């Protein structure tokens, strides 16, 4: 069912409780990456322009259900104030008399940020009494924290039972548009690039997308589980030994469906897992190639890069989830960089390109290509669960349009 959007709300002089994702990385109390705060700005500005009394709530880190100054949202409040050009007050807690008083005194156009919701164990337990206190006197709830929408917590699901209307913010709306709407009837060819370390982490996504995709390109450490299952030598490469039968099932299903399920033609290998280590490309797997003992595969090889690139540039819809190599180490980053550049070029050629959260987003940012993709998801686990076809509690709880 279609969900109520922030676009559909009349917020003038009303208290609005908005769930944001300010779970930002900190070093010595300073924010090192404000991407998640920046992502919430459009919805925040929209609500303030509409005259809302805006109350924001978020978690930060894992404080284990009790107050911990290390995980205070104070840096986020200060930074948000700078971005908005107005004062943002940080409440001493997310519930309680002092916080309730600040909310009651909040004028239209003002912003109050509640302290870390995870300072209370009741947040993750989704306890009704806590959710009701968190909702407070708000008439409207807006969820713009897609990255936590797969969790049924008090601030993502529980509060919706104690407000009149619950709507999605602009960020949530875009996530659902691209990870769900655009992939329902994708422009073809539809190519899925799947990487990362474990087949087990992506099995449900692979099975779900195999029904829709024309081609699935597989890289990263997970490729070696498939190679091992097919009988190739993989040396010291990372393999899920208990998932070999599963890998064969996936390959059989792809064949039965007539889908192209392409493993790398070759791989880049190394004998030392460190920056500056010697790397070589193996011979083509189909011609007897493999990774010898004492070596490990750490990236797709040069022939695989060529094959992947040709397929990517021919695509009209591309979904990429997971790097195809250990891109964090420059010596092993060639394949992932090449894939990112190919996806960026496909975007320029008119393809819809979706980066599905997690390390693939980090890679795109590292290579400075983030503004050359159609859409980059802010969700890790939430992105995967949505792609698997699961219903996200934080989305299901929103009011229907």
Write out the CATH class of domain 6-173. Answer: alpha beta
Q: Strand pairing of 30-31 and 26-27?
A: antiparallel
Q: What is the mean pLDDT of residues 57-80?
A: 96
d(CA 182, CA 188) in angstroms, rounded, equals: 12
Q: Using one digit for the tens of pLDDT, what is the confidence trace for 71-127?
A: 999 999 999 999 999 999 999 999 999 999 999 999 999 999 999 999 999 999 999
Give the active site residues. 36, 198, 358, 381
364-368 long-range Cβ contacts below 8 angstroms, 24+ apart: 364/340, 366/327, 367/337, 367/340, 367/341
**How does residue 362 score in pLDDT terms, banded at 50, 70 and 90?**
confident
Task: State how far the Cα of 64 lies from the Cα of 27, in Å rounded to an integer.
Answer: 19
pTM of the model: 0.88
Which of the pair, 279 or 202, is modelled with greater confidence?
Answer: 279
First-residue to last-residue Cα distance in the chain: 8
Asked whether 340 and 312 are in contact (CB, 8 A), the reply is no
User: Residue 195: helix, strand or coil by DSSP?
Assistant: coil
Q: Evaluate whether 254 touches 211 at the Cβ level (below 8 Å).
A: no
The Cα 206–Cα 131 span in angstroms is 36
Whole-number percent of the chain with pLDDT over 70: 100
What SS3 class is residue 262?
strand
Q: Please give the class, per CATH, of domain 182-387.
A: alpha beta
* Average of per-residue pLDDT across 293-311: 97
Provide mean pLDDT across the span 330-338: 95
- 6-173 and 182-387 in the same fold: yes
The domains of the chain are located at 6-173, 182-387
Question: If you write DSSP's letter for every residue of 48-74 in order, what string do you get?
Answer: HHTT-EEEEE---S--TTS--GGG-SH
């Amino acid at each position: 069912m279609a969900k109520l959007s922030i676009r559909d709300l009349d917020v003038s002089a009303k208290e609005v409780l908005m769930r944001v994702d300010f779970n930002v990385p900190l070093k010595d109390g300073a924010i090192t990456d404000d991407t998640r705060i920046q992502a919430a700005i459009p919805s925040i500005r929209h609500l303030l322009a509409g005259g809302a009394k805006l109350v924001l709530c978020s978690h930060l880190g894992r404080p284990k259900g009790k107050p911990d100054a290390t995980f205070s949202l104070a840096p986020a409040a200060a930074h948000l104030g700078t971005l908005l050009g107005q004062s943002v007050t940080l409440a001493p807690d997310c519930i309680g008399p002092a916080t309730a008083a600040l909310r009651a005194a909040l004028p239209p156009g003002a912003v109050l940020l509640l302290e870390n919701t995870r300072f209370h164990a009741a947040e993750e337990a989704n306890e009704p009494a806590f959710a009701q206190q968190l909702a407070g006197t708000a008439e409207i709830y807006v969820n713009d924290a897609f990255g936590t929408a797969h969790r049924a917590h008090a601030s993502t699901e529980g509060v919706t039972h104690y407000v009149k209307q619950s709507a999605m913010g602009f960020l949530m709306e875009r996530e659902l548009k691209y990870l769900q709407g655009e992939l329902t009837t994708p422009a073809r060819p539809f190519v899925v690039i799947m990487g990362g370390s474990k087949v087990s982490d992506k099995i449900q996504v692979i099975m779900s997308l195999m029904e829709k995709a024309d081609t699935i390109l597989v890289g990263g450490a997970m490729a070696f589980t498939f190679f091992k299952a097919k009988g190739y030598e993989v040396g010291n490469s990372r393999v899920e030994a208990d998932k070999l039968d599963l890998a064969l099932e996936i390959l059989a299903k792809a064949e039965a469906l007539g889908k192209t399920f392409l493993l790398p033609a070759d791989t880049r290998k190394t004998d030392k897992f460190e920056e500056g280590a010697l790397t070589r490309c193996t011979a083509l797997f189909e011609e007897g190639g493999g990774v010898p003992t004492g070596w490990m595969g750490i990236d797709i090889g040069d022939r695989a890069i060529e094959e992947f690139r040709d397929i990517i540039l021919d695509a009209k819809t591309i979904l990429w989830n997971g790097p195809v190599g250990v891109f964090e180490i420059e010596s092993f980053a060639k394949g992932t960089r090449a894939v990112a550049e190919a996806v960026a070029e496909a975007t320029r050629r008119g393809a819809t390109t979706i980066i599905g959260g997690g390390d693939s987003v980090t890679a795109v940012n590292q290579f400075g290509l983030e503004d050359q993709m159609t859409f980059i998801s802010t969700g890790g686990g939430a992105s995967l669960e949505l792609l698997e076809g699961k219903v996200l509690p934080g989305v299901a709880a929103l009011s229907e349009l």
